[in-house]
Amino acid sequence: MAGTSPPFAGIGVALLTCFDEHGDLDAGATAALAVRLCDEGVTGVVVAGTTGEAATLEADERRRLVREVRRAVPPTVPVLAGTGAPSTRQAVRLTVDAIDAGADGVMVLSPPRAADVRPYYAAVAETAGPAPVLAYHFPAVSPPGIPVGCLAELPVAGCKDSGGDADRLLEEVATFPGALYVGATSLVPLAGLAGAAGAILALANLDPRACGRAFAGDPEATRSLAAEQRALRAGGLAELKRRVAARFGTPTAVRVP
C-alpha cells in the first residue's frame, strides 16, 4: 500500500470531540464543527485521535462520531478514524468498527513499548482492506514510536509524524514512499517546503486558513501559529477548547484532565 495516492493533500484537522455539560458525547456538535472547518479549507478530518480524547471514548461513541461526521462533511473530504491501541487485537477491532461506521480510512498510533511494529500494522492493514491506513508516530504519547527505517516496510498509505524532530522529518521525506503528514506545529513550514503531503493539526480546529498559509511558507501565518501554540502550551486541550468555543460556539467540556 505504501506509495499509493495520499488520502488527502493539504491541511487535515485532528478534530476535537465535543461533550455536553454532563460530559456526554455531543456527536452533532462535533460534526457541525467539522463542517465549519471544511468550509474554511480543511481537506481531511481525523476523528477519535489524540486531540479527540480517544482514550476516553467508548466503542459506541467512536462509531457514533464516525457516522455523524461522515454524514455531515462533504463527500470529497475523507474522514479518518483513530484506531491505534496497546494491542493488535484492540486495534483490529477498532478498525473494523470504524470502517463499518463509514470511515474512509484509519490513522493508527503505534503500540507502546513495541520492539517490532510490523506485525501490528500488517494486521490492521489486512483488516482495513482497500481503505487507506496511516501509521502514527507520536513517541511522547506512545513510546518509542516507529523507527524511521521501518516506515517503508509497513503496508500503509502514509504516516503522521508528531514527534517534532526536523532531522527525522527530512529523512522521512527522502526515504518513505508514502504520504507524509506532519503533526507538530513547529515543523509545518518545513514540511511544506520539503514536499510532505500535508499536515494534521490540532490548531486546525481554531484557524485552518492560517495553517494552510503556514504550510505554503507564509512567514506571517507561521508566526501566528507559533504564538497560538505558545499560548496553548500551558492550558493544553482545555484552553484549545475554550478558544475554539469563542470562535465557533462549541462546548468546552473535556474528559482528559
Which domains are delineated in the chain? 10-248 (3.20.20.70)
Q: What are phi and psi of 10, to 5 degrees?
A: 105, -140
Which of 121, 160, 181, 241 is the catalytic position? 160
Cβ(3)–Cβ(159) below 8 Å: no
Query: How far apart are the C-alpha atoms of 123 and 208, rounded to whole Å?
Result: 34
- For the question of residue 136 being annotated catalytic, the response is yes
pLDDT average, residue stretch 115-139? 97
Predicted TM-score of the model (pTM): 0.96
Q: How far is CA 45 from the centre of its chain?
A: 7
At residue 2, the pLDDT reads: 45
Q: Kindly report the CA angle at 55 between 54 and 58, in degrees rounded to 5?
A: 80
pLDDT, one tens digit per residue, over 20-66 is 999 999 999 999 999 999 999 999 999 999 999 999 999 999 999 99
Partner residues linked to 181 by β-bridges: 160, 198
pLDDT, one tens digit per residue, over 151-208 is 999 999 999 999 999 999 999 999 999 999 999 999 999 999 999 999 999 999 999 9
pLDDT, one tens digit per residue, over 217-243 is 999 999 999 999 998 988 999 999 999
Cβ(217)–Cβ(192) below 8 Å: yes
Which residue type, as a one-letter code, is found at position 62? Answer: R
| Arithmetic mean of pLDDT over the chain | 96
At residue 1, the pLDDT reads: 47
- For the question of residue 160 being annotated catalytic, the response is yes
